[in-house]
Structure 1
Amino acid sequence: MSSPLPSVALARWLLQRAKTNRRGFTLAELLVAIAVGSVIVTSMLYLVVELLGTNVREERLTQAQQDTRRALDYISRDAREAVFVYADPATVADQLTDAPADSIPVLAFWRLKPIDIGAIAGCNTDACATLRVRQNVYDLVVYFHRPNNPGDLWSGPGRIIRYELTNYSNFAAQTPTDGYRDPSLTRDGFASWTREGDTTTGSKPVLADFIDVHDDTLGDVVCPTAFLPTTTAESNSFFVCVRDTGAGANPLNQSMSVFLRGSTVEPGTGTAVIFGPTSRNSSLPTISTEVLVRGRIERQL
């Protein structure tokens, strides 16, 4: 019978050899491991931050596009009901003593507003008789583009103000609005309308905020073929082009194109959101729509 001693001795020798060869990491190995781990963790954190930033920028861009589109849709629906469009809105804006200060008139027109005949059932004046026949009144609407000042209530770079001058401040009581003259009942008509008295009192709510202001890098206002701009290049972020009837002719108050560009300036910071390597202008192109005016009175031929 063979002795187990050689096997035991071999096992002990192997165990002793393993203990002898066992050692820890060197300082260089630890430094390399830390450096590699830091690079991996930093890269992952950078990727996460970029993904979150991209998501925020895309949400801001989407919101700006939606707000701009809603404003453009409102303006186009409003202008579609016009019966007379001014080729130069400044001519009528100069008659408005309460026009928004430091604002650029971009679009001006007269439109018909339906009235409630029942509200004047007991009125027997000639004006009431005329209203019962027409069942509407003429309202003057002017869209202004106004830059916002730092510290204002409005956080965006600019805003659109819709000014409206209507016939009566209180329709049921037949209280006339200061400065209003019915263009259909005057010799001046629509094209040469002037205010009644020394002052005007219209409503001027803000239609949209976060509208971009003039940008010199965009150059002058460029209208489509057969259209002419109603304003100068100082409002190249919100402008209107009206159809031209030919060489030497004035614009025709029948068709127009409205151009509008929003802004991605973050609320309260005044800093525009930059979308990666692209510029703010390329990320927010000017959107436009063409409007065919339904009514036509006193064409400017």
Structure 2
Amino acid sequence: MNPLKWFLNQYLKRCHIKQKSGGFTLIELLVAIVLAALVITPLMGFMINVMDNDRKEQAKATSEQEIKAALDYISRDLEQAIYIYDAAGIEKIKSQLPTSSTSDHFPVIVFWKRQFRPQVISAGSGFDDTFVYSLVAYYFIKGDDPDNTWSKAARIGRFEIREGQDGFQIFDPNNQYTTLKDKMENWTKSATGYTNNSPNILPLVDYIDQTTVSENLAVAPPSCPADSDPSTPDMQQVPNYATGATTAVPDANLKTGSFYVCVLSSPTTTSTQKAITVSEVHLRGNAYARIENDVNKIKYSDNKKNYFPQYSARVKGRGFLYTK
């Protein structure tokens, strides 16, 4: 045989063998795809579940931190209070505060405080430090968000007006009222003040539970503790949800129990009176609103209660106010 022909035959045989052993059949590919799918699918589901749980835990942790921070801020603010309005007091001065309508805003905490301000009054050629009075109000706000800036839950806003600002007027400037309570409850803003249609209410914290008391049947409506001593006044709840209540009652749309305060009312009978500034502040957040956009799915339910962190604090004001 021709050596060249023999060599060529041997080479072609080897190439043919290599081609046969170098590929996969269609059945082998299908089996491999099915096995890969059986392995990858549960792994993907596991990873998605881990990421979803992490997102939910992060939402809960963020809400808890924000609620604690807001409660701490309100508590420090109340420590400077010299007079806190009870339910009857808020009802009397509500028309003097920004947004007197109770349809989407409601003033829950209203108080006067005395605050140190450096370098605010003229003293010779310079300025000197002094103490100034301020009126502060914390609002529960639900809705009223045409720009979709805030969540579909509720939020808390803060209003403050102090000496030197438009609208400020000291309580009882003409000294026409006898008791401290009357002086405070008859406060009016100045003629050059703010209008109810353009309030300067700044947001403090968002994602406050918006579930109303009638929808939140899993939790008893909020109530303030009764005092066992009959000689001392009981704390009053603001907002007031009691049946038949006539003071500090918001619209049904705002009866949530997620932001309320228990206030110890001030004395009215003694000739020399000192304001009592003791309060309990209660807050409940809504972390579920961070991970769900459907307004019907972010309401409180017993199986989602871990997403609704609740905290409270008891605060006693450091300042005092006397009248004779």
Distance (whole Å) between structure 2 residues aligned to residue 259 and residue 138 of structure 1:
26
Partner of 2:20: none
Instruction: Please say if 1:106 is aligned against 2:108.
Output: yes
Distance 2:132 2:236 in 1: 29
- Distance between the aligned counterparts of 1:163 and 1:244, measured in 2? 22
The whole-number CA distance in structure 2 between the counterparts of 1:282 and 1:111 is 36
Corresponding residue number in structure 2 for 1:279: 303
> Does the CA-based 8 Å contact 1:156-1:263 persist in structure 2?
no
Unaligned residue ranges in structure 2 (runs of 5+): 1-26, 178-182, 228-234, 242-254, 268-274
Instruction: Tell me which of 160, 166, 188 is aligned to 1:164.
Output: 160
Between Structure 1 and Structure 2, how many residues are aligned? 250
Distance (whole Å) between structure 2 residues aligned to residue 151 and residue 203 of structure 1: 17
Does 1:155 pair with 2:151? yes
1:272 and 1:39 map into 2 onto residues whose CA distance is 37
- Residue 135 of structure 1 aligns to a residue whose secondary structure is strand
- Contact kept in structure 1, 2:59 and 2:291, CA below 8 Å: no
1:266 aligns with 2:290: yes
Q: CA RMSD in A?
A: 3.8
- CA change 1:138–1:90 in 2 (3 A) is same
Cα distance in 1, alignment partners of residues 118 and 266 from structure 2? 38
- Is 208-217 or 157-166 further displaced after alignment? 208-217
The offset of 1:99, in angstroms, is 5.5
Please tell me the residue identity of whatever aligns with 2:205.
A
TM-score (norm 2): 0.65
Query: Are 1:239 and 2:260 counterparts?
Result: yes
2:205 corresponding residue in structure 1: 208
SS at match of 1:116: strand
Instruction: Describe the shift of the 1:292–1:222 C-alpha distance in structure 2 as closer, same or farther (beyond 3 A).
Output: same
Q: CA offsets, 1:67-108, max 9 Å, x none?
A: 111111100100111000000233323212555872011000
Which one is further off, 40-49 or 138-147? 40-49
Q: Contact conserved, 2:85 with 2:265, CA < 8 A, in 1?
A: no
**Counterpart residue type for residue 113 of structure 1:** Q
- The alpha-carbon distance between structure 1 residues 147 and 58, as it changes in their structure 2 partners (threshold 3 A), is same
Kindly state the Cα deviation for residue 284 of structure 1 after the two structures are TM-superposed: 1.8
Alpha-carbon distance, 1:261 to partner: 1.2
Q: What residue identity is the alignment partner of 2:50?
A: L
Q: Deviation of residue 120 (structure 1)?
A: 1.7
Gap change, CA 1:83 and 1:97, over 3 Å in 2:
same
Identify if the C-alpha distance between structure 1 residues 168 and 245 changes in structure 2 by more than 3 Å, giving closer, same or farther. Answer: closer
Deviation, 1:278, is 6.5
8 Å CA contact 2:81, 2:319 repeated in 1: yes
Task: Choose 197-206 or 110-119, whichever is displaced more.
Answer: 197-206
Q: Which amino acid aligns with 1:96?
A: L
Cα distance, 1:207 vs structure 2: 1.0
Instruction: Report SS of the residue matched to 1:210.
Output: strand
What secondary structure is seen at the aligned counterpart in 1 of 2:136?
Answer: strand
Contact 1:141 1:165 in 2 (8 A): yes
Closer, same or farther in 2 for the Cα pair 1:112/1:193, shift >3 Å? same
Equivalent-residue separation in structure 2 for 1:100 and 1:267 (angstroms): 31
Partner of 2:85: 86
Match 1:187 to one of 176, 201, 225: 176
The 2-side partners of 1:100 and 1:162 are apart by 16
Aligned to 1:120: 122
Q: 1:297 to 1:122 in 2, by over 3 A?
A: same
- TM-score scaled to structure 1, two decimals? 0.69
Question: Match for residue 222 of structure 1?
Answer: 223
Question: How many angstroms apart in 2 are the aligned matches of 1:80 and 1:165?
Answer: 17
Q: Percent identity?
A: 25
Report the counterpart of residue 22 of structure 2 in structure 1: none
Paired letter, 1:168: G
**Letter paired with 2:203:** V
Contact 2:121 2:130 in 1 (8 A): no
Q: Secondary structure at the match of 2:56?
A: helix
CA gap of 1:39–1:270, structure 2 versus 1, over 3 A, is same
CA gap 1:63/1:118 in 2 versus in 1, 3 angstroms: closer
Q: Is the 8 A contact 1:97 1:199 kept in 2?
A: no
CA shift digits 1:236-284 (9 cap, x unpaired): 11110123799xxxxx84211101111221279356998xx96333432
The answer as to 2:312 corresponding to 1:288 is yes
Q: Deviations over 1:214-249 (max 9, x none)?
A: 433144222234333121341411110123799xxx
